[in-house]
Amino acid sequence: MRIIYLLILSLFCSLAYAQTGQIKGNIKNAADQPVEAINLILKGTGKGTLTDAEGNFEFNALAPGHYQLVGTGLGIRRIDRNVHVKADETVNLEIVSEENVQELQTVEIIGNGGTSYKNDLSFIASKTATPIKDVPQAISYITKEVMRDQGVFLMGDAVKNMSGVNQFTFYDDLTIRGFRMNGGSTTQLVNGLRTFSGFWKQPPVNYLERVEVIKGAASALYGNTSPGGTINRVTKKPLATPRKSLSFTTGSFNTLRTLADFTGPMNESKTLLYRLNLGYVNAQNFRNMQFDKNIIVAPSVSFLPTNKTRINFDLVFNRSNSRLDRGQSVKGNDLYSSSIRTSLNAVNDYLNEETYLITTSLNHQFTENTSFNVAYLRTGYSEDLLEHRSSNVNAVDSAGKPIENLVARQVFVRKTKSFMDNVSLFFNHNFNTGIVEHKMVAGYDFIQSSTPKGSGQQTANGYLLKAGGAAAYNAKTPEKYVFYNYVENGVTYSIPKPNISHYDITLQNNNMEDPSKYIYNVTANSATTPVLYKLHGLYLQEQLKIKKLQILLGLRYDTYIDKKGYTTNNEQNITQHALLPRIGAVYSLTNNINVYGTYTKGYNPQDPIVQSNPLSGGPFDPIRSSLSEAGLKTEWLDGRLTANVSVYKITQTNTLYSANAADRPDLMIQVGKEAAKGVELDVTGNILPNWNVIATYSYNDAKITDAGSRAADQVLVNLQKPNAPKNQGSIWTKYTFVSNFLNGFGVGLGGNFVTERNLSLNNTQTLPAYTLLNGAVYYKIDKFQFQVNLNNLGNKTYWVGGYDYLRLFPGAPRNFMATISYTF
């Protein structure tokens, strides 16, 4: 009897199992690309899953019956499908997701598994996931795929793919539409949060998803920003599907580079995700005496306790050891009188830096129409420096006449630390009133930046005095100075003896020096002056959509507090206020052509470091700016390719420039008014699925229109602004073969050009135009890819920027980089 019972039970279980069904499916977007990490549930069953990297999903062991499949994900419309499952049946679903322009994601919190040169959404421009074509302002961007294909590691190499963006120096120092911005003093963003970087080094890009620039002032959302544009670095975020990659690069200038990128879930439910980017770089340079060692650690963790809440933690740590390169010096006005390798360093110079960025963010969706975001970014930077550098003038003879082949040098010994905190919180709410769709953003920012007491600098320069000490040379009292014999072309001259040995361009005297023998002064330097400033910002933004018309209205009220005399007994608050409006409109002429216009006002307190420096000549009035812009944003080839054009005019008042005073290097002058107007064109995307392209062009007429009240400054009027080329452009294209014979093989080709530029505010010194040609070859087999990048194929001599002919910044000669990568 027991045996019969067991047989019946077994048969019943078998029949029950045979009567179950299955749902399998795949989700792709409108561009036929798989959509990863879509959260799918069978309503009322407790069953759920996520799509994998290929967009696939499945539900097993389903009893026959009717089911409601619900799918949600950031950036797509909710998926609702009624599915009927029969006994012993597999239902196959092919779902095309729809983009959701009402999506409430407002910070970059979701990892991007895409592999395209094209990016569709921008969070920087509106703090909503608004398609770039619907933003009434020009936005340029570079995805990680472009940077990978070009073998890019530093920011300066990435921005050459952006219209209107040009290098000013070797450093984290750029011009956008002719307005200078740098990592030391100008607003930069990481994931939409305020940060800064050490001025001397360009940030690495191996941990970035993309780099983007919103052109013109972004003050209505971010407060005091550059009128030319604001750079936002978007870091890579965790993915729900495991991915791992390793790459090794070697090549010119004794370069060794190792990078790693790991991501995936940390638990079975995929509510805890991680990403880890690692980098090690050890490279020399085409410039004499230069080297760079970098260690980059960038972990990221995402916690999804519910499908409405996401908590992110990100860290970027970078330790850099190098020498500070102050550029090339030449004789007189002859750019080719010295090698582009010429550097004025001593063998024992060093620059040691550490930078960290720690971000914590929370995104919670209360309802389908209301969400809340709060984020905190802490930035820390420390610098330890010893450098021999130019004094920005030539050495002089006893009559005070410059000696062209001798460059006067000075020495800086500096230790400093700086910190910044940014708290950002805002609400998003979407609603409709009749035919009008509304997207509201209301938020508050708090920013604090400080250089605490404890930083310091010693400077050694000038000429030795008989009575002891050192001072600038005065040809009227030569009897006060120590002289020595200098031999040039077999002729002996008696010239003042310098505190720091001169650099002889002819002899290239890069020696090991003894800094203990110099006569130092403790200087009030802008990098070491204690500084504390705070900013409170309240803002409100409304995006309205009425059929084909979209209107963006924004208003921000800033309170800026600079602590004058910080750390002294005479501390006092200097408070400034600013009301910053923004208005823009987009009209859809057709499904693939939008026309837009915008007007914004900008405000920028003068750099508190400069304001607090008693040698700068301040205090100075704040900078104010305005932007008028119009353009077209278009999509072609079923959305694979975008082509955007913009025309703009920017005005700015009260800009500070170096006075170029040899005896007062920190002295600044305030220019009355300057203006930039121009045209920009950006083409990005895929001509074919296996043919990528990115092309840019910009014309920029950036001039000083009012030099203020000083008669001596009137020569500056109508001068093109420093390191702001009137014309520049770039193109890069990659083609991957798909035929059986050449399958896995690819080629890349591109270049960029920059026209003549002025140096500083001196119209007698310019840099010549240049055009560069670059190429690459690729071969992919299974999980391995081999890549060789060839740069400056024509071996052109050129300069990316500079201050004057004693501080020039040349570009690299012909070079190559070979990379092997493994993805698993």
Cα distance between residue 122 and residue 138, in whole Å: 11
Mean per-residue pLDDT, 91-112: 66
H or E stretch at 35: none
Per-residue pLDDT band at 423 (split at 50, 70, 90): very high
Rounded mean pLDDT, 561-576: 85
Token pair of 523, please? Answer: 């200087």
DSSP run (H or E) holding 299: strand 292-306
Residue pLDDT, tens place only, 739-775: 888 888 999 999 999 999 999 876 679 999 999 999 9
pLDDT at 275: 97
For residue 57, what are its two tokens?
């999903």
pLDDT at 463: 97
Looking at CATH, the fold of the domain delimited by 121-235 is given as Ferric Hydroxamate Uptake Protein; Chain A, domain 1 (2.170.130)
For domain 243-459+523-823, the CATH architecture is Beta Barrel (2.40)
pLDDT tens string 607-626: 666 666 667 777 777 788 99
Q: What does the angle CA 12 – CA 15 – CA 18 come to, to the nearest 5 degrees?
A: 150
| pLDDT for 99 | 62
Q: Give the pLDDT of residue 15.
A: 42
In the predicted structure, residue 478 carries a pLDDT above the cut 60: yes
DSSP per residue over 483-496, as a string?
EEEEEETTEEEEEE
Give the pLDDT confidence score for residue 362 in this predicted structure: 95
Number of Cα atoms under 13 Å in the Cβ half of residue 568: 12
Number of Cβ within a 10 Å radius of residue 54:
14
Q: How far apart are CA 556 and CA 42, in angstroms?
A: 44
Q: Where are the domains of the chain?
A: 21-96, 121-235, 243-459+523-823
> From residue 490, how far is each of 401, 485, 487, 769 by CA, in Å?
19, 12, 6, 38
pLDDT of residue 185: 58
Q: 546 - beta bridge partners?
A: 436, 549
In this predicted structure, what is the pLDDT of residue 109? 60
Residues 6+ apart with CB under 8 A from 603: 219, 223, 224, 558, 578, 580, 622, 623, 624, 625
Distance separating alpha carbons of residues 91 and 487, to the nearest angstrom: 92
Percent of the chain scoring above 70 in pLDDT = 92
CA distance 538 to 151: 41
The 8-class DSSP code of residue 713 comes to: G
Segment 4-14, tens digit of pLDDT: 444 444 444 44
DSSP string across 144-199: HHHHHHTT--BHHHHGGGSTTEEESSSSSEEEETTEEEETTTS-EEETTEEE---T
Q: What is the pLDDT of residue 415?
A: 94
Question: pLDDT tens digits, residue range 204-260?
Answer: 999 999 999 999 888 888 888 888 999 999 999 998 889 999 999 999 999 999 999
The residue-averaged pLDDT of 18-23 equals: 79
Confidence of residue 678 (pLDDT cuts 50, 70, 90): very high
CA dist 260 and 767 (Å) reads 39
What's the CATH number of domain 21-96, 3.30.497.10, 3.40.50.300, 2.60.40.1120, 3.40.50.10490? 2.60.40.1120
Question: Which element (helix H / strand E) includes 9?
Answer: helix 2-18
User: Is residue 280 predicted with pLDDT exceeding 50?
Assistant: yes
**Taking a C-beta distance cutoff of 8 angstroms, is the pair 764, 179 a contact?**
no
Residue 54's pLDDT band, with cuts at 50, 70 and 90, is: confident
Mean pLDDT of 392-412: 94
Please check the confidence at residue 524 and state whether its pLDDT lies above 80: no
Q: Which long-range CB contacts under 8 A does 811-816 form with residues at least 24 apart?
A: 811/340, 811/770, 811/772, 812/253, 812/286, 813/286, 813/340, 814/790, 815/251, 815/252, 815/253, 815/286, 815/790, 815/791, 816/251, 816/252, 816/788, 816/789, 816/790, 816/791
Please report which confidence band the pLDDT of residue 631 belongs to, taking 50, 70 and 90 as the band edges.
Answer: very high
- Say yes or no to pLDDT of 776 above 90: yes
Instruction: Encode pLDDT of 302-323 as tens digits.
Output: 999 988 899 999 999 999 999 9
Determine contact, residues 446/535, Cβ cutoff 8 Å.
yes
Average per-residue pLDDT for the chain: 89
User: Which of the pair, 575 or 462, is modelled with greater confidence?
Assistant: 462
Asked if residue 36 lies in contact with residue 243, where contact means CB atoms within 8 angstroms, the answer is no
pLDDT band at 133 (very low <50, low <70, confident <90, very high): very high
Question: Which H, E and C letters describe 502-531, residue by residue?
Answer: CEECCCCCCCCCCHHHCCCEECCCCCCCCE
For residues 422 and 376, give the distance between their C-alpha atoms in angstroms, rounded to a whole number.
6
Q: What is the pTM of this model?
A: 0.84
How much is the average pLDDT of 578-594? 95
- Judge whether 21-96 and 121-235 match in fold: no
pLDDT reading at 186 higher than 80: no
pLDDT value at residue 285: 95
The phi, psi pair for 675, rounded to 5°, reads -140, 150
The contacts of residue 6 (CB under 8 Å, 6+ apart) are none
Specify the pLDDT at position 568. 86
Q: What value does the mean pLDDT take over residues 584-595?
A: 96
Q: Provide the token pair at 514.
A: 């003894």
